[in-house]
Structure 1
């Protein structure tokens, strides 16, 4: 069977505990791609700008042309350096979701463009996304001014 594209998830699949791709996995990927002349695609719930760094580490050049980010909301072309597909939240729908979780005092992370907006102190998200994290101004945040690709809600009390 001829494979035209091989895709791999990142977290819990391709990445190790240090959140990097092992030399062994890089070698296996390169060997497989060379022997099959296939393309390789990285797929993740992460934003494309995080996935690009991992693609650079693997260093397959044009054999990694596309990335799928935000759980499928964005397909990004590395060669053209631009999205070829985007699916964002409708701003009215996003507003209702954000408002609901804020009223319930639930931690939310809103992934928009190159920022992650959080409504409450959120060590896990802050540690993971670093300087991309912005405190959400709940009184003035307007979803219609942003491309919102993904929202995550975290409730710890049943």
Structure 2
């Protein structure tokens, strides 16, 4: 069997619903690497929420974060490392219009950057509940162009916010509302997806499309599921993702669905 590049999403895929990775999954990944395959994390998460999982698996290769906007190797220099940024002045312009376009909370993130406009109520997940002065978005603190903005907006103004960004920055930014009950919206550079990173990895390792296997469960996985020679949707995945996938795991993310699929596919 040819060497494979295996791209793994984290939430809902390699991780269970407690955001943990099982021993079985770690062992399976390491067996595949020992056979000469490449396993790379390709996730929507920022680096701060990935590196502990990366280390738990024992990886030492490049990973893709922020849904394709950042690719780097946490353990070593990678000559193909890259990032797609947002002009920091856009952050300040959005905050100036907070009330008008319904911004409640905003975080700005980069590889080693994490700032927010204010502390969050504990009922709003993801956003920090306790900020120091140097962690608040300001012209003194925000010196670099961020990679990703994540916003909690007022529900009645969700469409207003989306329209504002599209009308003013639609040629350079992509607006992606999260699923779920909270009106959370992600803003990133336009025309960047998980395929952006997966394509970089494939070129770097000189692996043809037919030898790429990609696992995912959510809408942000659609591009790489379509791109891979074998795109595999999780049993617990969104119906649309299962519809476009080449195959579907027999078990869900709480039952080691990805690991079991890989064990069967590679006969390990």
Matches within 5 A, 1:26-37: 26-35=26-35, 37=36
TM-fit CA distance, 1:91? 2.8
Tell me whether 1:116 sits opposite 2:118 in the alignment: no
Q: How many Å separate the matches in 1 of 2:103 and 2:131?
A: 24
Q: Do the aligned residues in 2 keep the contact of 1:115 with 1:132 (CA within 8 Å)?
A: no
Q: How many Å separate the matches in 2 of 1:81 and 1:52?
A: 15
Q: How many Å separate the matches in 2 of 1:3 and 1:132?
A: 48
**Structure 1 length normalisation: TM-score?**
0.75
**Structure 2 length normalisation: TM-score?**
0.47
Partner of 1:126: 128
Q: Do the aligned residues in 1 keep the contact of 2:119 with 2:131 (CA within 8 Å)?
A: no
TM-fit CA distance, 1:155? 2.1
Q: How many Å separate the matches in 1 of 2:113 and 2:17?
A: 25
Partner of 1:11: 11
Partner of 1:77: 73
Matches within 5 A, 1:26-65: 26-35=26-35, 37-60=36-59, 62=60, 65=61
Partner of 2:63: 67
Q: SS at the partner of 1:147? A: coil
* Cα distance, 1:12–1:85 mapped onto 2, change above 3 Å: same
Higher share of residues assigned strand: 1
Q: Do the aligned residues in 2 keep the contact of 1:21 with 1:54 (CA within 8 Å)?
A: yes
Structure 2: give runs of 5+ residues left out of the alignment. 157-268
* Cα distance, 1:116–1:28 mapped onto 2, change above 3 Å: same
- Post-superposition Cα deviations, 1:49-71, rounded to whole Å, max 9, x if no partner, equal 432221110114x4xx0111122
Structure 1: give runs of 5+ residues left out of the alignment. none
CA-atom RMSD in angstroms: 3.1
Tell me whether 1:100 sits opposite 2:97 in the alignment: yes
Q: How many Å separate the matches in 1 of 2:50 and 2:14?
A: 12
- Post-superposition Cα deviations, 1:91-142, rounded to whole Å, max 9, x if no partner, equal 3333333433465342211113434222233232227xx88996525xx436
Kindly indicate whether structure 1 or structure 2 has the higher relative contact order, using CA contacts under 8 Å at least 6 residues apart. Answer: 2
TM-fit CA distance, 1:31? 2.5
- Post-superposition Cα deviations, 1:29-86, rounded to whole Å, max 9, x if no partner, equal 2223333x111111222222432221110114x4xx0111122111012342568101
Q: SS at the partner of 2:26? A: helix
| Larger Cα-atom Rg | 2
Q: How many Å separate the matches in 2 of 1:133 and 1:18?
A: 31
